[in-house]
Amino acid sequence: MNVDGENRIILNVGGIRFETYKATLKKIPATRLSRLTEALANYDPVLNEYFFDRHPGVFAQIMNYYRTGKLHYPTNVCGPLFEEELEFWGLDSNQVEPCCWMTYTIHRDTQNTLAILDKLEIDQEKPSEEEIARKFGFEEAYHQNALNCWQRLKPKVWSLFDEPHSSHFARVISMFSVFFICVSILSFCLKTHPDMRVPVIRNITVPGADNKTHWTLDKDRTDAHAAFFYIEAVCNSWFTFEITIRFLVTPKPVEFLKSLINLIDIIATLSFYLDFLLQHFARDVENADILELFKLTRHSPGLKILVHTFKASAKELTLLVFFLVLGIVVFASLVYYAERLQANPHNDFKSIPEGLWWAIVTMTTVGYGDMAPKTYVDQDIDGTDLNIHETVPGHPPVGQLTVANPPVVKRRSVQPPARAVLGLANPQSTKP
């Protein structure tokens, strides 16, 4: 009994006492518990125990890891706390069991998403002058108090045009931009209305029966009213001024040109001038200002989060589209061959490409009725197609797809590496 008592060790963790054998703690070498000696400062010779001011709930799982060789994640603590405790005790977080791995790694996805949202610069505090100088590369001149007029003006102009929440004047400029974007989009829509277009009339000489020429008026085409050109010219003048100023004062011109939103701004602005030049050669060409819609993303934090949502859900959306395309091709082929099994003079499916359209409107529960199966076999296929895409979980119709905003939980395909712990091949047979 005395020998057994000498082999025992008492650990007081956060006020809760744990008792085990010294040999149990030696199972995992190169850890804090495997190197315990009575010379340590946290050893109490009176109570004959080691005291650690750590989380006792997590330590219970760590103690179980020493006994069984299996590290489980306690669900009553958050992931960062668990990682901090493992780091203190000298354990590798990759040793978490596969059954707990998905739950344990949720916090990493959450932290990654929050880091991305922080990069979106939504509702951030106003940076200090030193941080701004560091961002623009003026840090040395700032500390030497040797900033010139341009170095002092450049960050202020950048904040006005790129940071809508930095000041009241920046908000006014942002409202100006949104106003011109909305006017440009409204002009783009209205100029296609028949009442907003002007017919182009031309005189045509027509030879008569009495060898005389007659003049007649012919409606060649219709053009948008001239007022729309001046409206778009004013709007694009502001867009040109804005994108030019933003490029001149940006701290990183290369990253500015690589940004997708900035590229959309540049292309949408240049399209107006390109349209103006092409109209001298092709009168039917009109400027498509639909790209102006994407400019609103820069002025709306909610749209920024929505763009991030689709980026984070790209794999899930791709998987959904894959299953949708797979079903479209399969059922379009089946309906094409099923209609040919018997005489069918009113066959609407004369080719598989025509069947693809039917499969799309059926899967998305639209069902225009412009194409319908006539044979009994084809009608069974139609019903099967509709029921499958209405009832199978995980494969909803496209119109019913919803995406979390923002998605903070995504499954990881990374599995923890194999355990590299010595002496754990058969922990049950190890005796202290």
Averaged over 403-428, what is the pLDDT? Answer: 39
pLDDT tens digits for range 17-52 = 999 999 999 999 989 999 998 888 899 999 999 999
Hey, is 49 helix, strand or coil? strand
Instruction: Select the more confidently predicted residue: 13 or 310.
Output: 13
The residues of the chain that CATH labels 1.20.120.350 are 163-299
Those residues whose C-beta lies under 8 Å from the C-beta of residue 424, and which sit 6 or more positions away, are 27, 28, 69
Closest by CA position to 79, among listed 106, 114, 115: 106
Averaged over 233-254, what is the pLDDT? Answer: 90
Q: Looking at residue 118, what is its pLDDT? A: 66
The residues of the chain that CATH labels 3.30.710.10 are 8-120
Q: Looking at residue 20, what is its pLDDT? A: 92
Asked if residue 296 lies in contact with residue 178, where contact means CB atoms within 8 angstroms, the answer is yes
Range of weakest confidence among 120-124, 141-145, 264-268, 386-390: 120-124
Averaged over 161-180, what is the pLDDT? Answer: 86
- CA triple 241-244-248, angle to 5 deg: 135
Those residues whose C-beta lies under 8 Å from the C-beta of residue 181, and which sit 6 or more positions away, are 235, 292, 293, 295, 296
Q: Is residue 339 predicted with pLDDT exceeding 80? A: no
Mean pLDDT in the chain? 77
Domain 163-299: which CATH class? mainly alpha
Q: Is residue 353 predicted with pLDDT exceeding 80? A: yes
Q: Looking at residue 51, what is its pLDDT? A: 95
| Answer CATH for 303-364 from 1.10.490.10, 1.20.140.150, 3.40.50.970, 1.10.287.70 | 1.10.287.70
* Strand duo 197-207 + 49-52: pairing: unpaired
pLDDT tens digits for range 271-290 = 888 887 776 665 555 555 66
Fold of 8-120: Potassium Channel Kv1.1; Chain A (3.30.710)
CA–CA dist 97, 127 (Å, integer): 43
Q: Looking at residue 229, what is its pLDDT? A: 87
Closest by CA position to 191, among listed 231, 233, 238, 234: 231
The residues of the chain that CATH labels 1.10.287.70 are 303-364
Hey, is 216 helix, strand or coil? strand
